Structure 1
Amino acid sequence: MSESPEGSIVRATLRGLMAPKRLAPLLLVSASLVFAQGRFSRDPLAVPLGIMLCVLFVAVAPVSYRVLFPEGLEFSHGGVRLLLYGAVGSGVVLSSGYVLPKLLRMAPTFLTQPVNLAVCGALYLVGGWGLGRDIGFEESLARERARAARLELEAEQAQLLALRSHLDPHFLFNTLNAIAEWCRTDGAVAEAAVLRLSAMLRSVLAGVRSATWPLDRELELLRTLFELHLLRDPELFQLSFEVAPGLGEVPVPPLMLLPLAENAVKHGPAAGHRGRIALDISSRDGELVFTVENPGASKGPREGSTGLPTVERRLALAYGGKARFSLESAEGRTRVTVTLPRSGPLLGVIT
């Protein structure tokens, strides 16, 4: 059976009242009232009656306010709910502070004197409004924060989907043109290029709806990318691939490292800086350390660039700020280092 909205509001309100920031002031005020009730009253039931009045206020006033005004006090509801809230409050205060003492034949007490009882009624109505409103605002704020987080996640995931379906068009066009040329001059090379390009596109599409995949899958994609570049120009660069044993099953976000490999070729050998591209993956203190070096000094991300900034945003989102990214340039070479928790990313499956 599904929960009714009223039941949910009652439970949420009672949980809110138990929060230390509300419970402590409530206990302090209640203790003061009960102390005054005992100090200035002679009837032996004065203190139990004071405790009961305080408990009824805490248990009924904010709950009744929130049930009657779940979206806050709006006069568009009409005066009926406001009158009903006042009637409930008056009923609780009068029944417990006037009718019950009469039935029990109690002597006059501090809180049940007419003037003080009227003050108790005002405190009931205003206190219930204040506490209910505070709890409602807190819940609204929590919902808005959750909504903002969902919107941020959805925006990032939309960008992620675009990124995952992205391969440098210039690279693709050049590769396809090269394959067309090889078809006339070297069928075997053309066939190898088609197979590698097909495998690469298949891997990209496989990663579109996955939150994680094993590091081996990511490295296979990177190797295919490098092999395609070397098929077009075997002298373009020398490749060094060092992966520490036992890391192949570590979960990583799909295509997280692909832009880094693309950049290493694009801004290194493809930009005229011939030399060695070195990729190294190791484990250190429960973290996965990915490093890629390429010839050519980096000048940092260009204005309007989306490659490396997107990788940084994805890392922050996927690992909750626990991943680190750094770019260094020295002695005519550029090094990018990405440090990831071996436990894997936090993102759920993208639908």
Structure 2
Amino acid sequence: MFYLLPLMLERVGILIIVAFLLSRMTSFRQTLHHEDRLPAKLLLIVIFGVFGMISNYTGVEIHGGAIGSEIWQAGVQVDSALANTRIMGVAIGGLLGGPLVGLGAGLIAGLHRLTLGGYTAAACSISTILAGAVTGWIGRRFRRSDPGAPWRAVAIGILMECVQMGIILLIARPFDAAVQLVSVIALPMIVMNGFGTLMFMLIIQSILQEEERTRALQTNQVLHIADRTLPFFRQGLNPASCREAASVILEATDADAISITDREQVLTHVGAGSDHHVPLHSLATQLTRSVLEQGRMSVATSKEDIQCFHDGCSLQAAIVLPLQVRSGTVGTLKLYYTNPARLDRVQREMAEGLGRLFSTQLELAEAEMQSRLLKDAEVKALQAQVHPHFLFNAINTISALCRTDPDKARELLIQLGVFFRSNLHGARQILIPLSQELRHVEAYLTLEKARFPDKFEMTFDIEPELANLEIPPFTLQPLVENAVRHAFHGLGPHHKGSVCIAASQKGHEVMIVTADNGKGIPAELLDRLGEQAVHSEDGTGTALHNIRKRIAEIYGSEGSFRIVSDAHTPGTRVVITLPLHLAHRREMHA
């Protein structure tokens, strides 16, 4: 009996080595984490069934009371039996995979044992199938991640081995031979199977713990990156914010380069390949376009898949992730690698998590921006600045013209409709085209000039390509109204007022200037105008304050609102500067 112990230990060692090698395989690790799926269960049946077959082949033959020395058992004599670790593999399979895996592995190992022969073949086959069924049933309630799980598995394995000894005594014949066999193999098989189960379960538990640690570290890293990039993504997708965010991502991940795009162009590229992956260029690869169209992550594992046509490009692999806002893809995040081998499963999972978090950040930023803009009904406050006197005056003017100039009256009615339609439409929008804001201004001026034909004139100097430029509503009309109502007031009947709106592109910025030739603004009032509401005889400055605040909310440091005036010099200029890349975005509409 004691001579059998080292032989059994040797056989257990073979299985433990196989188990360790399996634990290093990614496919086996993934199977353990998805054992509730049918393909994973079938794979576990095969794995643990083969474990049982290996145990049969490497068993120690027992003839009478003598212990054989053959290493590989292709068959067993009629009056001989096997001492092996078959129950160990089947029991572990049942505990890990549940009833289907336990029964399947038990059938494979048990039926295989039956084919080898020997007077205990039937008893061993039945006990193996029974062990698979019982441990599979226990496996439904078995928590393998618990610290005590390996020891519970050892207890279950020992119990199944004891059951096997009992079945041998009940079924195997001749009975005397069965009794003699059990007296020789019982203790070594129970001890070694218990030891092997413990080692096997410790390996399984180390796999699970390693995965948990990896996921915990990965989650912590993703959250850390998200926390550092939040201030930048809250500004939306623009070159400045994306450059800062990309630098953070590059520093915190194993990627060799980071690129962020919107739907039209590359906003930033940092890291390897920066010499030819130039920001603010149009999208060049079908890989990025397909992600924008399909809204799904895409992985490139070769330079050809990346489709960079620069001969010296060192980028060999990439993960391209969609950045989504309200189920629409507004851009992409690209992680590049110079070595495709570094693009492993961990990197893909982490990148996918980053993509989801960044999409959430962009969506929350947009929702926050809309909430801030609408929470106090500031836009509606601007709309409400259409004084009743303006409406009454317009109606009186149109009424008078109905008798003297019906065509003019009809034109003014149309313009009045345009004016109020613009008010209603602007109150529901975050941004509107510049051309629409100018129609609002023209409608207002048409109605005012009908009352005061010679009081002022209006000119526009708008670059044609800026007609679709998007700006906040009620940005220009209040400025023109201020000029008409305040700048020209008290200048005498011979002074003809002039207001000019000009829009031009300066590099990556758009400059919109509203200038008049009316009274200047005193220095003490100028410092407060736009910064806060003020109290004066000419008005409160609420419109200017709201315009400045909305530009700051939407564009951050990239937008500006500036009033240039002097009480001693005629004229006031209001200069609004907007970033061109945001001013052309259509996705920010409410």
**Same-fold call, TM > 0.5?**
yes
Contact 2:397 2:450 (8 Å CA) reproduced: no
Question: Percent identity of the aligned residues?
Answer: 23
Q: Residues 192-341 of structure 1 correspond to what in structure 2 (within 5 A)?
A: 192-270=411-489, 272=491, 274=495, 275-294=497-516, 295-298=518-521, 299=526, 300-301=529-530, 302-303=533-534, 305-319=541-555, 321-330=557-566, 331-341=569-579
What one-letter code is carried by the residue in structure 2 that aligns with 1:257? L
- Cα distance change, pair 270–173 in 1 and its aligned pair in 2 (3 A): farther
Deviation track 1:283-334 (CA, whole Å, cap 9, x = no partner) reads: 2113221101122223324426431222123223444543221111132321
The answer to whether the 8 Å contact 1:236/1:270 transfers is no
* Aligned mates of 1:270, 1:96 — CA distance in 2: 93
When residues 193 and 132 of structure 1 are mapped into structure 2, their CA distance, relative to the original with a 3 A threshold, is same
Aligned partners of 1:172, 1:347: CA distance in 2, in Å? 34
CA distance in 2, matches of 1:338, 1:314: 12
Aligned equivalent of 2:322: none
Task: Please give the residue correspondences for 1:12-27 in structure 2 after superposition, counting only pairs within 5 Å.
Answer: none
Q: 1:90 aligns with which of 146, 154, 173?
A: 146
* Gap runs ≥5 in structure 1: 1-42, 61-86, 113-119
- Aligned mates of 2:433, 2:416 — CA distance in 1: 21
Map 1:115-134 onto structure 2 (within 5 A): none
2:369–2:554 CA contact under 8 A, matched in 1: no
Q: Which amino acid aligns with 1:348?
A: M
Query: What is the distance in 1 between the residues matched to 2:500 and 2:222?
Result: 56
Alignment match of 1:154 (pick from 371, 378, 397)? 371
Deviation at 1:347, TM superposition (A): 5.5
Q: RMSD across aligned C-alpha pairs, in angstroms? A: 5.4
Shift in Å, 1:282:
1.3
Structure 2 unaligned blocks of 5 or more: 1-15, 34-142, 158-190, 231-356, 535-539
What is the CA–CA distance in structure 1 between the aligned matches of 2:485 and 2:491, rounded to whole Å?
Answer: 9
* Displacement of 1:193: 2.5
Deviations 1:26-70 (A, max 9, x none): xxxxxxxxxxxxxxxxx999x989999xxx9xx99xxxxxxxxxx
CA shift in 2, pair 1:133/1:199, >3 Å: closer
- Give yes or no for the alignment of 1:348 onto 2:584: no
Q: 2: distance between equivalents of 1:92 and 1:207?
A: 66
| Partners of 1:95 and 1:267 in 2: CA distance | 88
Q: Give the AA of the match of 1:290.
A: I
SS of the residue aligned with 2:465? coil
Partner Cα distance (2:577, 2:195) in 1:
76
Q: Secondary structure at the match of 2:498?
A: strand
**For the residues of structure 2 that align with 1:149 and 1:278, how far apart are their CA atoms?**
33
- Partner of residue 136, structure 2: none
User: Residue 63 of structure 1 corresponds to which residue in structure 2?
Assistant: none
2:546 alignment partner AA: T
Are 2:457 and 2:498, in contact at CA under 8 Å, matched by a contact in 1? yes
